[in-house]
Amino acid sequence: MSVRQPKWAIWRRSYHDKSYGYREPRRFVMPDYSPTQLQNRTVNAPLLRYVDALRTHGHRAARIDPLDLLQREEVAALNPWRYGLLDDAQKYDVNGIVWTRPVGSAADLSDEWTLGDITQHLRAIYVGRIAYEYMHSPSKTERLWFSHMLESQAPTQAVFDTKQKTRIHGLLARSETFDQFLQLKFPNLKRYGLEGGESMLPALDALFASAARAGVENIVLGMPHRGRLNLLTDLLQFSPEALFHKIKGGSDIPEDLGASGDVISHLVASPNLQYDGAKAPLQVSLLPNPSHLEAVNPVALGKTRAKQFSLLKKLVASGTAPNECFPGDKVMCLQLHGDASFTGQGVVMEGLSLSNLPHYTVGGTVHIVVNSIGYTTPASSAHSALYSSDIGKMINAPVLHVNGDYPEDVARAVDVAFKYRNHFRKDIIVDLLVYRRWGHNELDEPSFTQPLMYEKIRSRSSVPALYEKQLIAEKVMTEDAATAVRSSYKSLLASELEAADSRPPVKVDAVMFQGSWAGMSWPASSDAVREPETGVDHETLLGVGRASVTVPDGFEIHPRLQRHVNNRLRALEKGSGIDWATAEAMAFGTLMLDGCDVRISGQDVGRGTFSQRHAMLVNQRTEEVIVPLNAQLQCEGRLELANSSLSELAVLGFEYGVSWESPDILPIWEAQFGDFFNGAQVIIDTFISSAETKWLRQSGITLLLPHGLDGAGPEHSSSRLERMLQLTNDGYEFDDSPIASNVNMHIVFPTTPAQYFHLLRRQIKRNYRKPLVVASPKGLLRLPAASSSLLEFGHNTRFEPVLDDATVDKSKVKRVLCLTGKLYYELVAERQRLQADHVALVRIEELSPFPFGRLASVLGRYDATSEFVWIQEEPRNQGAWPHVSERINAVLEHLGRTKHILYVGRASDAVPAPGISKIYSAQRQAIYQTAFN
């Protein structure tokens, strides 16, 4: 049903909505009230107020706490007498007030109910074991949808047949048996079991079934450690034998790859599940995650988004209209959370804020908060809201609270959550209230801090036992049948444990190079191509360069951008003076011509923080947007320019998730200033730098971190090269073998646009993937000296890890200054002013992997040199010096030199740069003087 939008909404959507990747979810609209219903709402206004009070406040009186420990005050708003409704036998026309019939049917017919019947009906829905919060939504359509669906279909009364009940029982019983088995066989193991929260499994099973029947084919799942092993070995079909092998100290990854693996609570699986009524199997991909809680959330979002776009490209290639593939149609993101981390970790808020942004939406995420009711910290100390789920209200997400002691109600709540997500393609939260039977882990003693809670827990039957007793009473199953479920599963686990010791080694193909990664190589293998051809022929470069600034006739760009266009075209015609933005555009365009996608994300990336990129142009008369490379090249590869929210942690995690989905996309995250990656340090530490070693996950993520001291003060100067380099596993001893390049991350500080061009293309042209951290320029973006000729991009050219000084007579050089970055151009100018021809400048462009062999080849040419110096603009305790000093000394020793490398630069400091201009200038001048002394 179409609906007229206000003018402000149309204006809000007009900007960027035609750029590639701008996708909005499918829209769903409920019919409005009929005139008859509106009249009845006026006549029976007191009843309307009462009914809305039940919808709004019913959750506050609902029986959602399995331990009955939540402090619940009497909710006066739920009493009908407050609205003048005193007689339970009084009849009222509920048409347009209580929804008792299907949507749109008999909208003009009266429907009389007694006050008592109305109260009984609505309290059964809103004050039961499922509590609904949706009245805070500003969307009338969403509020109407919930009211209609809950009140006319009465999901709380939905009946489960014998097969469904038996399946729920099996999940619960096997989970409890599994935890008891592990406790018996491995009593000192921290397994983070699911005891007390077993209803998480029927919740997930119900969600998988609903999704599969609705046509979803892929679920990307991010979750913490609690209950992970139970989920893996049951629903996700992970081999118990493999788990026991891992618990006993065996490897779950190929042992000859040099990777160190991860703990059992981070294991993964990606099975294809079959559900009755589904047209296709459902692939559920559980992502590996670090112990840093909630950090996996944006990674799951990014992978979901990339998977959706992969499907979209296939549909477009087959001739299917893109409008038939909306976000969320075939791929769904599912996130499990702990209650304390959901409200306590800022990445949750950052991830939620991405949910409805057109370049980041995944068409709705289902969030399940496995809420242990405040263990070990009481809710009064854990968050400032009524519920831990209240953080979701920042995006007006509906919340369904459900009592985990009642698995059937849990399944009903999850089914409602999926229906909402599928209608509106927005996030929704299921707050699953459970408890922990053993505390934080099985070696913990929770009664130290929660004695009354654990006195109650230890005196009660388990969730599986309670449900089993219910089914026996209902004659759904016998005691013997229930016992058989447990005994047969225990026997299976025992046989799997016995087989664990003789488990064969894991094969490489079993854990890597599946799906879109087929054909890729392990970076340390003999078939890894480390220095691929990255140069491009002259005509292609010219064509791409021109296309990057070509706009249709009548498209009016900003007058100040005409100079940008003219300068680029002039440089291309001359074949010289190619700047950074042009080199980048040519790298993007040539990769696109090869069929690869490029996605660059960050704040203001369309124009660039320093107004240098302008890959996205806006018509000054209409605000129509064009991305010239997409419009002009008309190739399979596409460029997505995702101007992000003001977030670092979630946005970088999102792009990292994109990098996991396919090696045929170049995902780039650009910080406004290099310093600002600080907010995303968790993603860098726990994913980017270590995923290959822990999980054998390769990634081509590229970080552009503007770096360089230029008087801008402490927080706009440094990309903290020292931190990035410290995270690498780069070797210290001289090693010029090709295998030495298999470090976990590449850290570079290129000084020419051509070097940057080759680095970007190398990210895709190698047959393996590595994260790339680029200390990118600020002042060099338009510096004439920091430009390249077109010849430097042509065939038989590539990135050079070390750049020698071609301007000096090496026989006269007495001092070699080794350095990296923009300081090179300042020193060239100072050397020329002083006519200091006895000093050579050698640039180390790639800091990790350290180019031992290349540097030895270059420094070996300076036979007359008596002094080798490392010079940098960063303080001594920062920058590259802590990383390069020992490695350059290894090169000098290899060359037979007895003197070690000397240091020239700022003294150690607590900040990257001073905020007082006089101090900055004095420090810079001192560096110049020392360099040529």
Tell me the pLDDT tens digit for each residue of 86-142.
Answer: 999 999 999 999 998 877 677 788 889 999 999 999 999 999 999 999 999 999 999
Contacts of 17 (CB under 8 A, 6+ apart): 24, 358, 625
Q: How far is CA 898 from CA 322, 810, 889, 891, 901, in A?
A: 66, 20, 9, 11, 10
Q: Are 705 and 688 in contact (CB under 8 A)?
A: no
Give the strand pairing for 839-844 and 815-819: parallel
Residue 565's pLDDT is what? 95
Burial zone of 737 (CB within 10 Å; 0-12 exposed, 13-18 middle, 19+ buried): exposed
Dist. CA 697–CA 259, nearest whole Å: 11
pLDDT at residue 325 in the model? 78
Give the residue among 545, 547, 617 at the shortest CA–CA distance from 584: 545
Angle between helices 852-859 and 881-894 (to 10 degrees): 60
Q: Determine phi and psi for 818, rounding to 5 degrees.
A: -90, 135
Q: Measuring CA to CA, which residue among 477, 446, 499 is closest to residue 170? A: 477
Query: For residue 157, what pLDDT is reported?
Result: 63
Q: Within 13 Å, how many C-alpha atoms sit on residue 350's CB side?
A: 23
Distance, CA of 217 to CA of 208 (rounded, Å): 10
CA of 43: how far to CAs of 94, 97, 439, 867, in Å? Answer: 11, 11, 54, 95
Helix (H, G, I), strand (E, B) or coil at 901: coil
Angstrom distance (rounded) from CA 425 to CA 355:
10
pLDDT of amino acid 2: 36
Q: Give one DSSP letter per residue of 841-887, joined into a string.
A: EEEE-EEES--HHHHHHHHTT-TT--EEEEEEEEETTSTTHHHHHHH
Residue 66 is classified by DSSP as: T
DSSP 506: P
| Closest-CA residue to 602 (of 778, 354, 426) | 354
User: Is residue 376 reached through a cis peptide bond, with omega within 30 degrees of 0 on the bond before it?
Assistant: yes
And the tokens for 874?
């960063």
The CA distance from 224 to 277, in Å, is 30
Distance CA(717)–CA(713), nearest Å, equals: 7
Strand order from edge to edge, sheet including 639-643: 639-643, 597-602, 665-670, 702-706, 772-776, 746-748, 846-848
DSSP SS3 for 625: strand
For residues 134 and 142, what is the distance between their CA atoms, to the nearest angstrom?
Answer: 8
How buried is 224 (Cβ within 10 angstroms: 0-12 exposed, 13-18 middle, 19+ buried)? buried
* Amino acid 576: pLDDT: 97
Q: Is 816 helix (H, G, I), strand (E, B) or coil?
A: strand
Closest CA to 64 of 501, 402, 354: 402
Residues in the chain: 933
Helix, strand, coil fractions of the chain, as percent rounded to 5: 45, 10, 45
* d(C-alpha 932, C-alpha 835), whole Å: 10
How far apart, in whole angstroms, are the C-alpha atoms of residue 883 and residue 720?
12
Q: Please give the Cα distance from 858 to 852 (Å, whole number).
A: 10
Residue 515: alpha-carbon gap to chain centroid: 20
Q: Alpha-carbon distance 881 to 749, whole Å?
A: 13
CB 25 within 8 A of CB 424: yes
Tell me which amino acid residue 605 is.
Answer: V
Positions of the chain with pLDDT lower than 50, given as ranges: 1-13, 374
Sequence letter at residue 580: W
